[in-house]
Amino acid sequence: MIHADSRLSTPAGPLPSSAPSWNRQRHSQMPSHRYQDLYSRVDVPLLDRSWPSRRLTEAPLWVPVDLRDGNQALAEPMDPERKRAFFELMVTMGYKEIEVGYPSASQTDYDFVRLIAETDIAPEDVTIVVFTPARRDLIERTVESIRGIRNPVVIHLYTATAPLWREVVLGHDRDSLRALILAGGSDVLEFAGDLDGVRFEFSPEVFNLTEPDYALELCDAMTTLWDASPDRPVILNLPATVEAASPNVYADQIEYMHRNLDRREAVILSVHPHNDRGTGIACAELAVLAGAQRVEGCIFGNGERTGNVDLATLALNLHAQGVDPMIDFSDIDHIRRVVEHSNRIEIHPRHPYVGDLVHTAFSGTHQDAIKKGFAEHRARAEATGSRPEDLPWRVPYLPVDPADLGRSYEAVIRVNSQSGKGGIAYLLERDYGIEMPRRLQVDFSRRVQLQADETGRELDAEALLAAFERSYLSATPSRVELLEVDVATTGETSRTTIGLRIDGDRHEATFADVGPVEAATRLLADHGVHVEIVSLHQTSLSAGSGAEALTLLEIRRGAETVWAAGRHRSVLEASVRAVVNAASR
């Protein structure tokens, strides 16, 4: 038996307590216990869930609710012009079902539905959804708004069903609330049951905090009342109105409904996640795995509090997994401009797929990987004779090709003090055609890093070129100046004449059968200036309309090497200038 105190006297010192000291946390002052009841998970009677082993293989039906749920969250609700611009955008993007408003709530919303009824702004294959609470007067007004409309219409009836809402907001128990909802459903039937092309949708608002058996009972009662059939299916929309549990719980709730609903083949199972915990996207994706066929949300995720689920991210997540999202995001910046205009809310620079910075790498290793990925992509296109945009995408750190979204590669690599040689070399090559050998990249990136650290600023390609010129192309004060270089060839013999000013004195010599670089180094050596060339590289510099030759010289300085460059329209003179620059340093 080990005595309780024996651990204090082991030769190796005290035994570790159960939690190592580096990992021991104190209780915070956060009053988390206050949330244990209401917003804790609802128990779902589902043990053999099948959603975890499924995969997303096709797009669900998408229903943007920006003009209703998004709109009701705006400080300045959309005026008719902003509403119309947004609606027309959604139509062009390919949405086939659009919730256009809450016509009983405001004249603007009512008038917008009338505009759709009286003009051709909605193509015939677009279904129009109108939203109403379960109140007879408001249902009647909603039905009035859709009179004469040629498009298919969905009347969307909702009532909150969760215990807190029953108790605190509506003052109903389960039975009396069921009666209220069925009365609303009957009113919908009375006013719109005979209208051609009209279908019905029911949302038990706050479904995610409603007892699963009660939600099931209400949904089945509605499909019976509305006589759901495969020819006239009813949409059952199950909202996570205030997101309150992790996405796996929502998925369980949806799978439970999917498996247990009556008339399942006559039901379109829909979800409507919000994003209070920041997991709206995960909720929607898992819900689709769990049996949901339709998703309501807002483009870029506007909506009450932290927003509705973002339909753009959902669609582009599918795209990024090789599944056609069925919606056109090929000009994402245009979409963004219209959405920002209509909502009067700016999109965050890190917002998935659309933010200004989401296709940009500042950090060195990421830039290096992206640069190599682009080069591999180009090489594959050349090797297979394919267009780059047709090839499988294999660029590290870029989950989708920015070109798919109508973006250029301009912003993909940007340079600051966190950047490395790869990104710097990429920008100089992309914008000016300068191909730097690896050792020069190393040398130049050190200089850029110093400058970026000093200023704390980003350096664009123009600033990098200026730094390159300062580092390698200008030598002030200049010890050596090139006066002339001339190569004359007669038959097999060449004669190179070179004139230099060295430390103020003019020197000239002619050499037979040596190139201009050697001629220059010899003349310099004859006057005590030694330039030992380790390597020489030719590239070009394209600035403005013309291109110049650029010679890059690596020269020995004691135990180290340093770099100098020369540029000129002729390759020959560019090389001699590089030698002169090297000598002047």
Ligand X SMILES: CC(C)C(=O)C(=O)O
Ligand Y SMILES: CC(=O)SCCNC(=O)CCNC(=O)[C@H](O)C(C)(C)COP(=O)(O)OP(=O)(O)OC[C@H]1O[C@@H](n2cnc3c(N)ncnc32)[C@H](O)[C@@H]1OP(=O)(O)O
DSSP label of 391: S
User: First CA to last CA across the chain, in angstroms?
Assistant: 80
- Alpha-carbon distance 273 to 295, whole Å? 8
Q: How far is the CB of 168 from ligand Y (least distance, A)?
A: 10
Containing H/E element for 199? strand 198-205
Q: How far is the CB of 452 from ligand Y (least distance, A)?
A: 48
Would you give the distance in Å from CA 300 to the centre of its chain?
A: 10
> Of 72 and 497, which CB lies nearer to ligand Y in the complex structure?
72
Classify 278 as helix, strand or coil.
coil
Q: Which of 145, 161, 241, 308 binds ligand Y (CB under 6 A)?
A: 241
Token representation of residue 513: 């059968």
301 is a site residue for ligand X (CB under 6 A): no
- Pick the piece of the chain touching ligand X (CB under 6 A) from 106-114, 233-241, 283-291, 378-386: 233-241
Would you give the distance in Å from CA 438 to the centre of its chain?
A: 32
> Of 39 and 362, which CB lies nearer to ligand Y in the complex structure?
39
Q: What is the 3-state secondary structure (H, E, C) of 422-444?
A: HHHHHHHHHHHCCCCCHHHHHHH
Tokens 């090559």, residue located: 429
Q: Which does 272 bind (CB under 5 to 8 A by kind): ligand Y, ligand X, none?
A: ligand X
> Of 108 and 478, which CB lies nearer to ligand Y in the complex structure?
108
Q: How far is the CB of 307 from ligand Y (least distance, A)?
A: 12
Q: Which of 122, 134, 498, 520 binds ligand Y (CB under 6 A)?
A: 134
> Of 70 and 516, which CB lies nearer to ligand Y in the complex structure?
70
Mutual angle of helices 421-432 and 364-384, in 10-degree steps: 50
> Of 101 and 420, which CB lies nearer to ligand X in the complex structure?
101
> 504 phi and psi, to 5 degrees?
95, -15
> 142 phi and psi, to 5 degrees?
-65, -45
Q: Which of 46, 60, 66, 69 binds ligand X (CB under 6 A)?
A: 69
Known binding residue 308? Answer is: yes
- Alpha-carbon distance 556 to 579, whole Å? 12
- Pick the piece of the chain touching ligand X (CB under 6 A) from 11-19, 237-245, 464-472, 489-497: 237-245
Q: Which does 102 bind (CB under 5 to 8 A by kind): ligand Y, ligand X, none?
A: ligand Y
- Alpha-carbon distance 93 to 47, whole Å? 40
Q: Which does 159 bind (CB under 5 to 8 A by kind): ligand X, ligand Y, none?
A: ligand Y
- CA nearest to 310, candidates 299, 319, 320, 318: 299
How far lies 405's CA from each of 165, 325, 473, 559, in Å? 42, 13, 39, 51
Number of residues that bind ligand Y (CB under 6 A): 13
DSSP label of 493: E
How far lies 563's CA from each of 470, 539, 551, 570, in Å? 12, 14, 10, 20
422 is a site residue for ligand X (CB under 6 A): no
Known binding residue 227? Answer is: no
- Per CB under 6 A, which of residues 184..223 are in contact with ligand Y? 205
- CA nearest to 99, candidates 258, 308, 287: 308
Q: Which of 71, 104, 241, 471 binds ligand X (CB under 6 A)?
A: 241
108 is a site residue for ligand Y (CB under 6 A): no
Q: Which of 54, 114, 135, 495 binds ligand Y (CB under 6 A)?
A: 135
Q: Which of 86, 158, 214, 432 binds ligand X (CB under 6 A)?
A: 158
Classify 167 as helix, strand or coil.
helix
Containing H/E element for 131? strand 127-133
DSSP label of 298: B
Q: Which does 581 bind (CB under 5 to 8 A by kind): ligand X, ligand Y, none?
A: none
239 is a site residue for ligand X (CB under 6 A): yes
Mutual angle of helices 280-289 and 311-319, in 10-degree steps: 60
133 is a site residue for ligand Y (CB under 6 A): yes
- Pick the piece of the chain touching ligand Y (CB under 6 A) from 12-20, 40-48, 132-140, 340-348: 132-140
- Pick the piece of the chain touching ligand X (CB under 6 A) from 49-57, 235-243, 276-284, 570-578: 235-243
DSSP label of 331: T
Beta-strand runs (E) in 493-545: 493-502, 505-512, 532-543
Instruction: Give me the torsion for CA of 96, 101, 104, 107, rounded to 10°.
Output: -120
Classify 512 as helix, strand or coil.
strand
Token representation of residue 388: 């780059």
> CB-hemisphere CA count at 13 Å for 218?
32
169 is a site residue for ligand Y (CB under 6 A): yes
237 is a site residue for ligand X (CB under 6 A): yes
> Of 71 and 551, which CB lies nearer to ligand X in the complex structure?
71
Q: How far is the CB of 66 from ligand X (least distance, A)?
A: 12
Q: Which of 72, 108, 293, 306 binds ligand Y (CB under 6 A)?
A: 72
**Omega before residue 123 within 30° of 0, cis:** no
> Of 272 and 336, which CB lies nearer to ligand X in the complex structure?
272
249 is a site residue for ligand Y (CB under 6 A): no
342 is a site residue for ligand Y (CB under 6 A): no
Q: Which of 61, 170, 345, 562 binds ligand Y (CB under 6 A)?
A: 170
Q: Which of 95, 158, 353, 472 binds ligand Y (CB under 6 A)?
A: 158
- Pick the piece of the chain touching ligand Y (CB under 6 A) from 128-136, 325-333, 393-401, 455-463: 128-136
70 is a site residue for ligand X (CB under 6 A): no
Residues of the shown chain interacting with ligand Y in the complex, contacts defined by CB under 6 A = 69, 72, 102, 105, 133-135, 158-159, 169-170, 205, 241
Which residues contact ligand X by CB under 6 A?
69, 158, 203, 205, 237, 239, 241, 272, 274
Give the residue ranges of the annotated binding site for Mg(2+).
69, 272, 274, 308
**Residues marked as binding?**
69, 272, 274, 308
